Amino acid sequence: MLAYIIRRIGQSILVLFVVGLVAFSMFRFVGDPVDNMLGQERTQADVERLREQLGLDQPFVVQYYKFLEQAVQGNFGLSYRQGRPVAEILLERAPATLELAFVSGLLALAGGIGLGIYTAIRRRGISANAIMTLSLVGVSLPTFLIGILLIYLFSVELGWLPSFGRGEVVDLGWWTTGFLTVSGLKALILPAITLGLYQMTLIMRLVRTEMLEVLRMDYIRFARARGIREKSVNFRHALKNTLVPVITITGLQLGSIIAFAIITETVFQWPGVGLLFINAIQFVDIPVMAAYLMLISVMFVGINLIVDMLYFAIDPRLRVDRTAGGH
Amino acid sequence: MPLSDRQSDATTIADSARVAGPSRARRMWDSDFGYAFRRAPVAMISFAVVILLVLAALLAPWIAPHDPFNPATLNLMNGFTPPMQANAFTGDFFLLGTDDQGRDVFSTILYGMRISLFVGFAAVFLGLVIGVTLGLLAGYVGGWAETIIMRVADVQLTFPAILVAMLIFGIAKGVTPPEYRDQMAIWVLILAIGLSDWVQFARVVRGATLVEKNREYVQAARLIGRTPFAIMLRHILPNVLNPVLVIATISLALAIIAEATLSFLGVGAPPTKPSLGTLIRIGQEFMFSGEWWILFFPALTLLALALSINLLGDWLRDALNPKLR
């Protein structure tokens, strides 16, 4: 057990090291930042000064060491496009993305588990079948089309909800929140649904399959035979036993919510980290791209590590299943 | 079914020339696989839609009523013509309306689908070639090659494919000089999407190869002294292709959606060479002012394309799975 944990942590550090190397290579070899920052009218002196300022005149190894040293401290230098420290920009944008991810994660979890139980209990019902069919269509729809569809319906046609931005936000010093104003909450609804829908259908299908399996078990039949109320059987006996895989899968999905936030944030012009990343790609703003890459890798690797540990802690059988299942 | 007549006709002709069985297509149609296909209306409809759309894309230069990328034939007065109506100023008629620059939406969709399909097919092909090669190597050769390949695959699988594609696109864009970026965008897209989805192929082929390499026919081939290269290519590869075909079909739908997503986000096909995603991006701007058709028709086309390929892939997976027979 201990050997396994140590090996997993070692692997995670190796992955982060490789990602760091990719990020640094981007810095060193991709594009000419000086070209990007200075316009057409520039003098040689301007170029030299900026090169020195950005540390681009130093040898490779020195730059690499500096990069690692700075990256560990969360310092990724100046954005080529905005001329401000990347860490500062990221911190400014993080609350928007985290609030969005939190709400859509909650939505996906609550909606997914709720609908999953419903479709499992009413397996042959018309509405349950309709939900299952709808979820198939939902999986096939690209995220950005769902977003556009929602905007068209609720912003353009009905005019109920805003189509872009975060609404009014309250500044708490180091955190800006949209939870405290009516316009902030209204602005959150459509992006949260867009982002959460795919995860919701995924969780729903998972819960449904697990529930159907558990409901066939003998102890459920015995519980029914003992005359325990249906509600109690479904929720206290069956649901409890479906939650282990749900928790682990949800954990893994957490990372993809952050990644897919890029698409949702672009559709709704949500001022978060994802929109920042897309703009960075468009303008080849390497420091922002590298920082985002590092940040998201730490997150993904961390989540994977924790989920793997959870497998170990909760149910050893699952670990065997997982390697055999092969996805 | 007048099958017997036709068959007897065919045999007399065939007899005079050479002794030959029914054609390849005929054999396909009569096989178990063909039977399963004929019994699945969803698969047949999806297949028809895919063929129709691919043909329309291929024949775009001949079908399209206008050339949307030739500025000489565009008339700005034709801008924002609604579908199925004559333009108020010029009297010109457009089946699906026009966009802000007076480009015929129907024609831009045909040309856009060409780019979407080209990027999709090319990206899947790239991912397939890389994945199958590495999967065969990992499975047959084993050892450190396997360790490295599968480790890299594991790491890449940790990140969502779309994110990997975005990153590769960003890096490749940075490497290309600015004046070539628009020209290269399509190729960069293919590279980005192709490199983001080789893992599935590699994993499946490796798994299948591990099973196949201990079979008698492979041992026999080894005994008669065939080279490992020939064994992998001529003996194992044909036997692991079924699952590859299924993954390729599903990957195609994913690749088309990925391309559309990247183009929609503005990190894909440029407005000068719009794909369906770029068209949707352009159309989105006009959604608020009531010109719905500029957005609606490209979106509908993308949906039809992705959905029918997806359904076809789903059916193919079941049809090729011997356990479900």
Give the contacts of B240 (CB within 8 A, at least 6 positions apart): B136, B204, B205, B208, B209, B212
Of A312 and A200, the structure prediction assigns the larger pLDDT to A200
A259·B310 Cβ contact <8 A = no
Q: Answer yes or no: is pLDDT of B80 > 70.
A: no
| Residue B2 confidence (pLDDT) | 46
Per-residue model confidence (pLDDT) at position A324: 41
**Predicted pLDDT of residue A88:** 82
Average pLDDT over residues A294-307: 83
- CB distance A300–B159 less than 8 Å? yes
Over range A52-64, report the average pLDDT.
Answer: 70
What is the mean predicted confidence (pLDDT) over B162-184?
A: 79
Give backbone dihedrals phi and psi of A78, rounded to 5 degrees, phi first: -95, 140
What one-character-per-residue DSSP string does B95-120 give? TT-B-TT--BHHHHHHHHHHHHHHHH
Judge whether residue A276 has pLDDT over 80: yes
Q: Are B162 and B229 in contact (CB under 8 A)?
A: no
Does B267 sit within 8 Å of A300, measured CB to CB? no
Q: How far is A141 from chain B (nearest CA, A)?
A: 7
**Interchain pair A148, B174: CB under 8 A:** no
How far apart (Å, rounded) are the C-alpha atoms in residues B20 and B6? Answer: 15
CB A120 within 8 A of CB A207: yes
A326 touches chain B (CB under 8 A): yes
- Of the partner residues A144, A156, A304, the one whose CB lies closest to the CB of residue B158: A304
**C-alpha distance from residue B124 to each of A124, A326, B109, B164, B269 (Å):** 39, 21, 22, 15, 17
> Would the CB atoms of B264 and A144 count as touching at under 8 Å?
yes
* Cβ atoms of residues A174 and A98 within 8 Å: no
Cβ contacts of A37 on chain B, cutoff 8 Å? none
Phi-psi region of B290 (alpha: psi -120 to 50; beta: other; left: phi over 0): left
pLDDT score of B20:
55
Does residue A259 sit at the B interface (CB-CB below 8 Å)?
yes
pLDDT score recorded for residue B307: 85
Q: Cβ A163–B155 below 8 Å, yes or no?
A: no
Q: Which residues of A touch B289 (CB under 8 A)?
A: none
Whether the CB of A217 is below 8 Å from some CB of chain B: the reply is: no
Query: What integer is the mean pLDDT of A44-62?
Result: 72
Residues A176-203, mean pLDDT to the nearest whole number: 82
Q: Residues of chain A with pLDDT > 70: what percent?
A: 87
Q: In the prediction, which pLDDT does A258 show? A: 81
Per-residue confidence (pLDDT) for residue A72, from 0 to 100: 75
Chain-wide mean pLDDT for chain B? 80
Q: Between chains, do B295 and A262 touch, taking CB under 8 Å as contact?
A: no
**What confidence category does residue B322 fall into, taking pLDDT thresholds of 50, 70 and 90?**
low
Residue B124 pLDDT exceeds 80: yes
Q: DSSP string covering A257-313, please?
A: HHHHHHHHHHHTT--SHHHHHHHHHHTT-HHHHHHHHHHHHHHHHHHHHHHHHHHHH
pLDDT of residue B14: 44
- Per-residue pLDDT band for B129 (boundaries 50, 70, 90) equals very high
CATH 3.40.50.620 is held by the domain A86-287: no
Chain mean pLDDT for chain A: 78
What is residue A322's predicted lDDT score, i.e. its pLDDT?
44
Give how far B199 is from chain A: nearest CA, Å. Answer: 11
Backbone angles phi, psi at B98, to 5 degrees: -130, 165
| Mean pLDDT to the nearest integer, A317-326 | 45
Residue with the larger pLDDT of the pair A117 and A60: A117
Name the residue ranges covered by the structural domains of chain A. Answer: 86-287
Angle between helices B181-196 and B161-175 (to 10 degrees): 150
Provide long-range contacts, Cβ within 8 A and 24+ apart, for B303-306.
Answer: B303/A140, B303/A141, B303/A145, B304/B49, B304/B53, B305/B49, B305/B50, B305/B53, B305/B113, B305/B116, B305/B117, B305/B256, B305/B276, B306/A140, B306/A142, B306/B253, B306/B256, B306/B257, B306/B260
- Which is more confidently placed, B230 or A282? B230
Q: How far is A30 from chain B (nearest CA, A)?
A: 5
Q: What is the pLDDT of residue A297?
A: 84
Residue A216 has pLDDT above 70, yes or no: yes
Q: How far is B227 from chain A (nearest CA, A)?
A: 30
| Total residue count of chain B as it appears in this document | 325
Nearest CA in chain A to B289: A156
A36-40, A138-142, A217-221, B110-114: segment of lowest average pLDDT? A36-40
Chain B residue nearest residue A19, CA to CA: B155
What is the interface pTM, i.e. ipTM, of the complex?
0.75
Q: How far apart are CA A202 and CA A206, in angstroms?
A: 6
Looking at the partner chain, which of B158, B261, B288 has a beta carbon nearest the beta carbon of A300? B158
Can you list the domains of chain B with their CATH numbers? 3-30 (no CATH), 43-324 (1.10.3720.10)
B141 in A contact zone (CB under 8 Å): no
Q: What angle do CA B140, B144, B145 make, to 5 degrees?
A: 50
Stretch A243-258: mean pLDDT, rounded?
76
pLDDT at A203: 86
Q: How high is the pLDDT of residue B7?
A: 47
Does residue A215 surpass a pLDDT of 70?
yes
Res A83 pLDDT > 50: yes
In this prediction, residue A153 carries a pLDDT of 85
> Considering only CB atoms, which chain A residues are within 8 Å of B159?
259, 296-297, 300
B93-94 and B85-86 beta bridge pairing: antiparallel
Whether A200 and chain B come into contact, CB under 8 Å, resolves to no
Does B5 have pLDDT greater than 60? Answer: no
Output the pLDDT for position A321: 44
Measured between CB atoms, which of B155, B170, B303 is closest to A15?
Answer: B155
Residue that has been written with the tokens 């390729």 in this structure: B248
Three-class secondary structure of residue A59 per DSSP = coil
Instruction: Read off the pLDDT band of B126 (50, 70, 90).
Output: very high
Which residue has tokens 């590769």?
A: B168
User: Mind listing the pLDDT tens digit for each residue in B235-280?
Assistant: 888 888 888 888 888 888 889 888 988 888 888 888 778 888 888 8
Q: Is B174 on the interface with A (CB under 8 A)?
A: yes
Q: Does A301 touch chain B (CB under 8 A)?
A: yes
